[in-house]
Structure 1
Amino acid sequence: MPFITVADVLRLSVITAGLPRVAAGGEQLGRAVRWVHVTELLDPASFLEGGELVLTTGMPHPSDPTQLRGYVDQLADVGVAGLVVELGRRYQQVPPELVTACRERELPLIVLARGVRFIEVTQTVHALILDAQGELLRRAQHVHELFTSLTLRGAEPEELVQTAADLAGCPLVLENLIHHAIICAHAGRPDGQILEAWPRRSRTATTPDRAAVSGPEGWLVAPVEERGSRWGRLIMLPLASGAPFGPEHTMILEQAVTALTLARLTGRPMWDRRAHSSVLLDLLHWRYRSRTEARLRAEALGLPTTGHRLLPLVVDHVTAAPGDTPVADHLAGELHTAGVKALVGNLSERRTGLLIALARASAWQPVAERVARDLQAVFGTDVVVAVGPSVTELSEVTGSFREAEQVADAIGPASRARPFHVASDVGLPELLYTLRDDVRVQKYVEHQLGRLLQHDACHGSDLLTSLRAYLEAAGNKSIAAKRVGLSRQAFYQRLHTLERLLATDLESGPQRTQLHVAVTALEALRGL
């Protein structure tokens, strides 16, 4: 990173000539040095702004330990990078009270056993600082141009966040106002170190007005706004090495926030729904490396998994017009209002997925029926709601979702009387509806019924209806004749015609079964 730290200064030859020793604050040597300030004043804080490396011979230091502690407190309060004390003029050895005070305030204290020329130290360090600042400006220009290019080509928010993480070498998390992790860019850090108990940890870090370090974990946080109102925030987690954030980290975070803000103004702003869709698709196809990774990702979006039953639903909205309210958005709003925890996202253009968390002792049927009836009231009866078996482990969701998808695929127009459907609702008509695009099914229908369909088409007759009534009556001619409104004698004549056209014996149970399958398949092919 293009900034000078206390540790960098200690490696300079102008300092090593003084045989430096870190007497206190060794864990804080990564602090950035903004400037070097030489002073022999007892109260130098009024001349400091923070980030300075203070050089002194200790000449004005008081002998009173209380006053010595007050001196250190002034430096720590203003935020200096460190204190360098040269021995020989005021001290032959550094006072223990000074060491204790610096240790308590975590202020780096460097003791020089030999005298050095302070002017050479300031000149050397200031030259390096100016070079670093120039490099930071060049770097900032590069980062600005990169994010501008991404914005102009309409980059998705996932790419913007990942780019920032790659540039900074730190994990980043984009979250909304209720602390759900919408996007997580790892930067080489495992999910378990990033998203574990995310909502709880996130609430301990306040949101500053601009990029700043916040919270007990030392996150770098910046707000993300939309049309003047706060939408969420972008969080940069510390480096795995524990090194502090520098100016470049802040610059990268601010550039990413600007790009995200512009993306919300000019692009598709439903990032929450995109995040839910991503997790649902990853669960459906099980793209996670471990159960822990899947659990953390779902919980970071507000879905409780431990101690709950998980109910997958698949919603097909086959005739929803593009201008209608998106089904996923409608469902998310309704479930949120009802206090139901769920992931809601699009699995495809016409298919929406839900993963609902329920208390283990609660019944799932009322929830499924409420979802189905609400959708049918808003979007019409062409909406199909398929329910997979409820599970208690997130790793079992994949199989349950796949079963729900298979059920949804099988529900044709003739099967939509129920508000929702489960696997036991899939019978012969639903199975054949699933297979309606299979050429073998189409050939079977044509082989069994082709001559009959051709006869009806050429003569304007409706023998197919008579055949269907006979098959549905299980071969009872009287019942079938009554259903089609014919006398028994007229109906018998139609049966003889059917036997001739189909070259079959309608009194044969197996042959009636074959024809019943063919008629049912024909209805599936016609979408009835």
Structure 2
Amino acid sequence: MQYALQAAPMALTVAQAMTLPGMRMRLLAGRAGLTRVVRWAHVSELADPVPWLRGGELVMAIGLGLPADPAGRHAYVERLSGAGCAGLAFALGEAMTAVPEEVLAAADLHGLPVLEILTPFIAVTEAVARWHADERVRGERRVVAAQEAMARAALLSGTSGILRALAEHTGGESMLLDPQGKPRAATPAGERPWHARAREMAEGAARRSAGVLDDGIEAVQVQSLGFSGPPTGWLAVCTASPLEWHARMLANQAACLLAMELLGVRASRAKAHAQRGALLAAVLDGRLSPRQLGELCPVADPPYEVVVARAAVPVETAAEVLEEVVGDAAEPALVCSRSEHTVFVLPEGPEGGRRRGAELCARLGVPGGGCRAFGLDELPSAVRHAAALAARGDGYAHVDDLETSALLRDAFVPEAAHRFSAAALRPLREYEARHGGDLVDTVRAYLEAGSNLETAARRLGVHRNTLRRRLAVAERVSGRPLTDPGHRLQLWLAVSLGDLVPPGRPAQTS
């Protein structure tokens, strides 16, 4: 990875500190350490100032604390270098007229710059402090410019623009993960070595948190996205170590922009799901044909996995859970919230849909049922079977897990079953078309009630005498009495096959 920290604050090196306005210094030894970073300028005449230092100091002295013996002087320089000091500057003429040769030799050995300083100590301290204050202002201006660039990128390119601008202005790489820690987008594209660490951090993090993993070479930040509730995703950023303050600020800004972007995307998806769900509801209610559903909205190619959750879940919640479970496959899916349950129609994945259906219901915390459909025309039947399973159990059940249902389905060829139903009910349908009436529904209610007139009439909402007249017409039209066991069996199969035999059997190909 090539790091070019465009927004990072510059580092004040010893070489640069020597050229600050008003500074008069000259290098005596330790040229190899001129790139050491000066964090502060500090005066100390202690024989061992190390316990009082934090690293990055340009230590200034007149030499009062220097040990008298050569070994002690060498150890003095070695300790300062090991403590991370930026350099050692002496003002000559007070305690000593020249820097001892042992100090100069140790400075060259350990790469610690030793300077002669001709500027008052307080002026050096003020100059270093002024440089850092000015650089902080310059850094803040660069961060503001970077934040504005990310905001423009969000408006122009959305998620990809935010990730690209973040990577550009931190000199690193960025990645967006879904709520489960799976990558959704990255800059640059493709798998990178640090991605695995970021995924582990996201998967092991709390619901809403931020973390940093710094190995001394790279710093990986992972931050949850969203303003309330479960995270809508995770932002991961990899930059050079150590992690700079500007990278933290820009990551926070990017996280806010991505959270707003994801909220907008989710809102638009929920609206689209609501519109598509209304069309699915019309199909299930018989107000719209499956063919018209395919014409009015884009639907994935079959087969489908139909999942019914036994709870009326708001479309927004259902759409969020759907996206969490199936990811990009949520786009062509259908969601419909009914009075007592919620229907999901998913494109069947390569591993089948039973696992995803079980996960959907588990995340919603409600029982559910599933059934496969090999075409849009099978959706109403698949929903009925899935809803029946959802009403029976406390967990999730699939038609394919029920041996009797699966065997019964495999025993029927769907096209042949449809032809049988159409032929058995044709006389009743033709009479209804010419004279009106509800002969098919009447016969079905009568047979399902076990030939009990009172029960059937109550289910149909008619008087029992009206029911008798309709049954008499049905017998006359069909040419056989309803007391004939064979005739009753044919009619019952014709009106019940859709409920008895679940869909999901592949069409036979010649």
TM-score of the two chains, using structure 1 as the length reference: 0.45
Structure having the higher Rg: 2
TM-score of the two chains, using structure 2 as the length reference: 0.46
